[in-house]
Amino acid sequence: MSNQKNNINRFTIKMQKKLLILFMFILVAFAGLSARLFLINRDNGEDYKKQVLSQQEYDSTTIPFKRGEIVDSNGTVLAVSNKVYNVILDANLLMQDENNLEPTLSALKQIFNIDTNTVRTYIAEHPNSAYYVMAKRVEYEKKVAFEDLQKDPEQGKNIKGVWFEDEYRREYPNGSLACDVIGFTTSDNVGTYGLEEYYNDILCGTNGREYGYLNDDSTLERTTIPARDGYNIQTTIDANIQAIVEKYLKEFNEEYRDNVREGNGAEGLGCIIMEVNTGNVLAMADYPNYDLNDTRNKQNLIGMPLLDEKGVKVKPTEYVTQEALDAMDDQMMYLHLDALWKNHCIVDSYEPGSVSKPFTVAAAIESGAITGNETYLCEGQLHVGDHDIKCHQTYGDGRISVQEGIERSCNVVLMNVAFALGKDRFVDYQHLFGFGLKTNIDLAGEPRTDTVVYSKDRIGLTELATNSFGQGFNATMIQMAAGFCSLINGGYYYEPHVVSRITTADGATIENVEPRILKQTISNTTSDTVKEFCNTVVTGENGTGHTARPAGYMIGGKTGTAETLPRGNNEYVVSFMGYAPADDPQIMIYVVVDRPNVYPQDDAKYATRIVRKILTEVLPYLNIFMTEELTDKEREELEQLQIQIRTPEGSQEEELDEEGNPINPEETGEGEGEETQEGEEGGAEGEPEDTVDREVWRSFPKDPATGYLVDPNTGNFLDPELGTVLGGGSLMGESPEGTEDLGTGEGTEPEGGNAPETTE
């Protein structure tokens, strides 16, 4: 036992001696190293310091990624990132020799117009700084000019301490084109609004890094991790079609600016063009628009509705003037700019009006509630609940068929169709058509709209009546467009989309976005019937959409006139939703004019005329051939527009009036030869004959200022072709008991709360 203790003691003492020797050796080595470092610093420290400082920007430099491009369907660049440069000052290096200061500042002023007083102040306050950004995002040409100056034997020898940091600047070569679809980026390269926001993660890449160090020979060594650039996206947007759409929206705005009131030609203008059989959006625009390269230009706000501190339109409506603009603080300015930047084609909901009538008819036929051959008596209004709900034809349309109800846009026919359908099935089909649901279009900002349509437990008979013709519930333009495409393409509901392909910077395809059918809303047979009915809106003798037809083409569609809240304010949203060609729809077009700057406002021609102008250029561009013979006037018109005329031989010439309407349009024969219900001729069995003169309005005098007819009894304006009342007040008349007009009736507020205004 004692031997073991002695061994341990001897081992411990021995180890202690070795550790002491090792410690002394390390201490001597450290002392020698310290002495060597002292000598190096004393003899060569300043040289090494200057060398390191002159290269320090390479110690850890970020290599920025290039944000992916956005191009149209033909490859036209809509958004691109171009390399620019930040001008960096190394004050420490510059002030190593005071003789460098003035030549360097002079060069900065000469090339970049940098404020030299600001730079002097910074140098005085931060003499040891190695990183100060003097100018941001300067062009390559200026960078080269400065570097050439540095190389000059005389001027350049004292230009020190300036270097350049790479960066990318987002640019939009076409200015305002498709601004609401594209969106823009913030100063930190983050997308906001439109495609830039929705596809931000796709468009963004990953920054790289460059590391630098000095080796034993004081030579700079570099290690680089390259940046990964963002992916490119190719859109379904056709820049040429988009430009045509925007041209005519702007033309309308300029024509009616400051017309009845001070402000834009309408509170809002919108247009969507889609491929019927794919869901591809070819064009989407609203007005006013803005320059993507100058997003904060305040002048674009003049003429827009004035907003309060909550971002809601001031009531009664006021409009932005220069004086109001000058008085806005930063918060109010942002609220108005935000309203400008939003894509109102997908963000705003509104009461769609009569463009929703084909949906009601399609649902009733598809469900078996009606056959489509029924007739109904329209006497100018229908008493529902405690209300007399008016038709826009004050004198009534008489006994007409469902087809004629669409052609003439008769509210009474549509209410009867909805009653046959019933509340539960009406709500089911609204959801099937996409109302109250997101379309999931690939653009930022689409809202939920389930609170602006009725549920089964809240819709009453009055609400069913008004909903049947597009009042009392809200929808967005993209919901209407996507749903309408399913009505005319055989019932196939395509998810609307704006991007068709995602590629790498070198063109390799990452993903193809194929058309996606989500559901079938109606059968092919019902779809064919709906098209027959909608064709008569343009071709029928009493059709409300004659002025939408472009020269040489037959199209179909539906006009819309929606009365805004509060009812009776004589403010309307007018629209036209159509398709071309009529016999085989390829594209859908939807134009909405929100409260045109005219009086009276409730005239769908303000929308149909825009449609006609757009289609006159778009259809030939898409190689959709003409089907109708042209008149001499139409040929002259097209020659002025330089539109290529394609007219098949053997087409019969159609005589048009000065507005492009058929004077004696050929009867389409739709509905002829069909089996009628028992007693249909002269009224259904048990129903009275229609003996009232429904066309007494033809004898009314014409107002020379507007061209409208004037009802001598009420003073209301009437359409001189159709006899429909314009500016005639609310659709809801007083009840027999004298109950106050309630707009769309008691309980019309979907899912609680007030029914939202038309475009909010």
Q: Kindly state the DSSP code that residue 735 receives in the 8-state scheme.
A: P
CB 578 within 8 A of CB 589: yes
Indicate the residue type of 211. Answer: Y
What local confidence, expressed as pLDDT, does residue 642 receive? 74
Q: Report residue 751's pLDDT band, with 50, 70 and 90 as the boundaries.
A: very low
What local confidence, expressed as pLDDT, does residue 410 receive? 95
pLDDT at 479 over 90: yes
What's the CA gap between 20 and 327, in Å, rounded? 82
What local confidence, expressed as pLDDT, does residue 412 receive? 96
Q: Report residue 649's pLDDT band, with 50, 70 and 90 as the boundaries.
A: very low
What local confidence, expressed as pLDDT, does residue 55 receive? 47
pLDDT per residue as tens digits for the range 166-197: 889 999 999 999 999 999 999 888 999 999 99
Rounded to the nearest 10 degrees, how much is the dihedral formed by the CA atoms of 71, 72, 76, 79?
-40
Q: What is the largest CA-CA distance in the chain?
A: 139
Partners of residue 169 on adjacent β-strands: 82
CB 398 within 8 A of CB 391: no
User: Average pLDDT in the 36-58 region?
Assistant: 59
pLDDT at 715 over 90: no
CB 191 within 8 A of CB 199: yes
- Judge if pTM exceeds 0.85: no
Q: Report residue 99's pLDDT band, with 50, 70 and 90 as the boundaries.
A: confident
CA atoms within 13 A on the CB side of 535: 22
Q: Report residue 155's pLDDT band, with 50, 70 and 90 as the boundaries.
A: confident
pLDDT per residue as tens digits for the range 54-84: 444 445 678 899 999 999 999 999 999 999 9
Beta strands in 205-293 (DSSP E): 208-214, 220-225, 232-235, 266-275, 281-287
Q: Considering Cα of 230, then 235, then 238, then 243, what sign does the dihedral take?
A: negative
Partners of residue 709 on adjacent β-strands: 702, 718
What local confidence, expressed as pLDDT, does residue 234 receive? 98
Kindly report which listed range (34-38, 227-231, 530-534) carries the lowest average pLDDT score: 34-38
What local confidence, expressed as pLDDT, does residue 444 receive? 95
Q: Report residue 209's pLDDT band, with 50, 70 and 90 as the boundaries.
A: confident
User: Average pLDDT in the 245-263 region?
Assistant: 96
What local confidence, expressed as pLDDT, does residue 760 receive? 33
What local confidence, expressed as pLDDT, does residue 691 receive? 57
Q: Report residue 658's pLDDT band, with 50, 70 and 90 as the boundaries.
A: very low
What's the CA gap between 78 and 71, in Å, rounded? 5
What phi and psi, each to the nearest 5 degrees, are found at residue 626?
-65, 150
**Cβ contacts of residue 238 below 8 Å, gap of 6+?**
72, 73, 74, 282, 283
Can the peptide bond before residue 662 be classed as cis, meaning omega within 30 degrees of 0? no
What local confidence, expressed as pLDDT, does residue 741 receive? 29
Q: Report residue 156's pLDDT band, with 50, 70 and 90 as the boundaries.
A: confident
What's the CA gap between 487 and 578, in Å, rounded? 11
Q: Report residue 740's pLDDT band, with 50, 70 and 90 as the boundaries.
A: very low
pLDDT at 451 over 80: yes
What phi and psi, each to the nearest 5 degrees, are found at residue 56?
-65, -20
Q: Report residue 97's pLDDT band, with 50, 70 and 90 as the boundaries.
A: confident
State the pairing for strand pair 732-733/232-235: unpaired
CB 100 within 8 A of CB 159: yes
Query: Using alpha carbons only, what angle is made at residue 66 by residues 441 and 281, rounded to the nearest 5 degrees?
Result: 20
pLDDT per residue as tens digits for the range 358-369: 999 999 999 999
State the pairing for strand pair 77-89/232-235: unpaired
Would you mind telling me the total number of residues written for the chain in this entry?
Answer: 760
The two structure tokens encoding residue 518: 């989500």
CA atoms within 13 A on the CB side of 321: 7
State the pairing for strand pair 475-476/349-350: antiparallel
pLDDT per residue as tens digits for the range 562-611: 989 888 888 999 999 999 999 999 999 999 999 999 998 889 999 999 99
Given the structure tokens 């100056």, which residue do they identify?
A: 149
Q: Report residue 638's pLDDT band, with 50, 70 and 90 as the boundaries.
A: confident
What interhelical angle do 423-432 and 411-421 show, nearest 10?
A: 100
Q: Report residue 36's pLDDT band, with 50, 70 and 90 as the boundaries.
A: confident
Indicate the residue type of 316. Answer: P
What local confidence, expressed as pLDDT, does residue 68 receive? 96
pLDDT per residue as tens digits for the range 663-702: 443 333 333 333 323 333 334 444 555 656 666 666 677 7
User: Average pLDDT in the 528-533 region?
Assistant: 97
Residue 519, SS3 per DSSP = strand
What's the CA gap between 140 and 115, in Å, rounded? 20
What local confidence, expressed as pLDDT, does residue 745 receive? 28
CA atoms within 13 A on the CB side of 445: 25
Given the structure tokens 């196939």, which residue do they identify?
A: 492
Per-residue DSSP letters for 157-169? Answer: GG--SEEEEEEEE
Q: Considering Cα of 320, then 323, then 329, then 333, what sign does the dihedral take?
A: positive
What's the CA gap between 426 and 436, in Å, rounded? 13
Higher pLDDT, 191 or 395: 191
What's the chain's average pLDDT?
A: 84
Per-residue DSSP letters for 5-74? Answer: HHHHHHHHHHHHHHHHHHHHHHHHHHHHHHHHHHHHHHHHHHHHHHHHHHHGGGSEEEEPPPPPPEE-TT
Indicate the residue type of 376. Answer: Y
pLDDT at 393 over 90: no
Residue 344, SS3 per DSSP = helix
What local confidence, expressed as pLDDT, does residue 44 receive? 63
